[in-house]
Amino acid sequence: MEDKRDDAVALDSAAFTAYGTAGAPPAGTLDSETTTTKSTKSSKTPTTTTTQHKPSSTKTTSTKSNESTTTSSPTAISTSTSEFQFVQLHNGRDIYRLQEDHFLAADFENICLSHNCQTECQNLTRVFTAHEGDLEYSSDGNPNDIPVTLFGICSNLANATNSAYTNGDSDVQSFFPNTLAEMDLHTQLITTNLTTCLSTTCEMTRQPSECVDYCRPEYLLQDSGLFKFSPGVFECANRLCSNTCGLPYANEDVFGVGVLISYYIQALLLFLLAAACIVSAAVQIWRLRRKPTVMGNTKLIEGNLENFLTTQCYFGVTAAIASLFMHPSKIDPLNGYALLAVTLMGCIAPVFTLLLLHSHEVKSWFGTTLCAISWLLNTIVFFMLVRNLTGSLENTKDVDDVLRGLFQTEFCGGSSAMVLCQQWTGSNPLGYVSGFYNKQTIPNIHNIPAIWAYATLVFLVLVASQLRYMGTTRGRTPTRGFAPQVQIGFMQRIQTRIRSLGSMFFLLLLTVILFSLSLGYQYRMVSTYEEMGVVDKDSWAFGQVVAVLFWAPVLLEAVKSYISTEAP
In 3D, which of 309, 200, 284, 233 has the Cα closest to residue 557?
A: 309
* Strand partners for 9: 40
Burial class (CB in 10 A: 0-12, 13-18, 19+), 23: buried
Residues 261 and 173 in one domain: no
The boundaries of the domain holding residue 523 are 252-390+448-566
pLDDT for res 100: 86
Q: One-letter amino acid identity for 91?
A: N
Q: What gap in Å lies between CA 137 and CA 92, rounded to an integer? A: 12
Asked if the structure places residue 63 within a domain, the reply is: yes
pLDDT for res 527: 82
Asked if the structure places residue 233 within a domain, the reply is: yes
Asked if the structure places residue 36 within a domain, the reply is: no
* Strand partners for 96: 57, 88
How far lies 271's CA from each of 303, 516, 519, in Å? Answer: 16, 8, 9
Q: Specify the number of domains making up the chain.
A: 2
pLDDT for res 518: 84
Residues 293 and 385 in one domain: yes
pLDDT tens digits, 499-553: 556 666 777 788 788 888 888 888 888 887 887 778 888 888 888 888 888 888 8
- What letter does residue 246 receive in the DSSP assignment? G
Q: Which of 64-68, 124-128, 371-375, 453-457 has the lowest mean pLDDT?
A: 64-68
pLDDT tens digits, 238-287: 888 866 567 788 888 888 888 889 888 888 888 888 888 788 777 776 66
| Beta carbons of 490 and 280 less than 8 angstroms apart | no
Which of 218, 246, 274 is at the close of a domain?
A: 246
Residues 240 and 256 in one domain: no
Asked if the structure places residue 440 within a domain, the reply is: no
Task: Provide the pLDDT confidence category of residue 22 given band limits of 50, 70 and 90.
Answer: very low
With 80 as the cut, is the pLDDT of residue 436 above it? no
Helix axes 365-389 and 333-359, enclosed angle (nearest 10): 150
Identify which has the larger pLDDT, 560 or 91. 560
Residues 345 and 461 in one domain: yes
pLDDT tens digits, 85-110: 888 877 666 777 888 888 898 889 98
Q: What gap in Å lies between CA 96 and CA 83, rounded to an integer? A: 16
pLDDT tens digits, 293-308: 444 456 777 788 888 8
Identify which has the larger pLDDT, 440 or 209. 209
> What integer best gives the mean pLDDT of the chain?
73
Residues 52 and 181 in one domain: yes
For range 56-61, the mean pLDDT? 39
For range 57-70, the mean pLDDT? 37
pTM for the whole structure: 0.69
| Beta carbons of 85 and 100 less than 8 angstroms apart | no
Residues 502 and 360 in one domain: yes
Q: Which of 34-38, 124-128, 257-261, 350-354 has the lowest mean pLDDT?
A: 34-38
Identify which has the larger pLDDT, 263 or 40. 263
Q: What gap in Å lies between CA 153 and CA 418, rounded to an integer? A: 18
Task: Provide the pLDDT confidence category of residue 491 given band limits of 50, 70 and 90.
Answer: very low
What is the length of the chain? 568
Asked if the structure places residue 476 within a domain, the reply is: yes
Contacts for 511-517 with beta carbons within 8 Å, 24 or more apart? 511/355, 511/458, 512/274, 512/277, 512/278, 512/355, 512/356, 514/454, 515/274, 515/348, 515/352, 515/355, 515/455, 515/458, 516/271, 516/274
Q: Which of 172-176, 394-398, 413-417, 418-422 has the lowest mean pLDDT?
A: 394-398
Residues 208 and 334 in one domain: no
Residues 119 and 204 in one domain: yes
Residues 217 and 320 in one domain: no
With 60 as the cut, is the pLDDT of residue 452 above it? yes
pLDDT for res 381: 95
Task: Provide the pLDDT confidence category of residue 477 given band limits of 50, 70 and 90.
Answer: very low
3-state SS, residue 227: strand
Asked if the structure places residue 429 within a domain, the reply is: no
For range 220-239, the mean pLDDT? 77
Asked if the structure places residue 412 within a domain, the reply is: no
Task: Provide the pLDDT confidence category of residue 234 given band limits of 50, 70 and 90.
Answer: confident
Task: Provide the pLDDT confidence category of residue 453 given band limits of 50, 70 and 90.
Answer: very high
Task: Give every CB contact of residue 356 below 8 A, 6+ residues apart in sequence.
Answer: 273, 274, 277, 305, 512
| Beta carbons of 50 and 81 less than 8 angstroms apart | yes
Q: What gap in Å lies between CA 190 and CA 195, rounded to an integer? A: 9
For range 412-426, the mean pLDDT? 83
Q: What gap in Å lies between CA 225 and CA 239, rounded to an integer? A: 22
pLDDT for res 81: 44
Asked if the structure places residue 299 within a domain, the reply is: yes
pLDDT for res 50: 35
For range 365-374, the mean pLDDT? 92
pLDDT tens digits, 151-165: 989 888 888 888 888
pLDDT for res 476: 47
Which of 246, 271, 299 is at the close of a domain?
A: 246
For range 174-193, the mean pLDDT? 82
With 70 as the cut, is the pLDDT of residue 20 above it? no
| Beta carbons of 37 and 187 less than 8 angstroms apart | no
Residues 282 and 371 in one domain: yes
Residues 378 and 482 in one domain: yes
Q: What gap in Å lies between CA 262 and CA 269, rounded to an integer? A: 11
pLDDT tens digits, 191-213: 888 888 988 888 888 888 888 88
Taken in order 452, 454, 455, 457, is the CA torsion positive or negative?
Answer: positive
Q: What gap in Å lies between CA 282 and CA 299, rounded to an integer? A: 15
| Beta carbons of 24 and 227 less than 8 angstroms apart | no
With 80 as the cut, is the pLDDT of residue 75 above it? no
pLDDT for res 324: 92
- Percentage of residues in the chain having pLDDT higher than 90: 10
With 70 as the cut, is the pLDDT of residue 422 above it? yes
| Beta carbons of 389 and 445 less than 8 angstroms apart | yes
Return the CA Rg of the chain: 32
Which of 246, 273, 288 is at the close of a domain?
A: 246
Residues 478 and 330 in one domain: yes
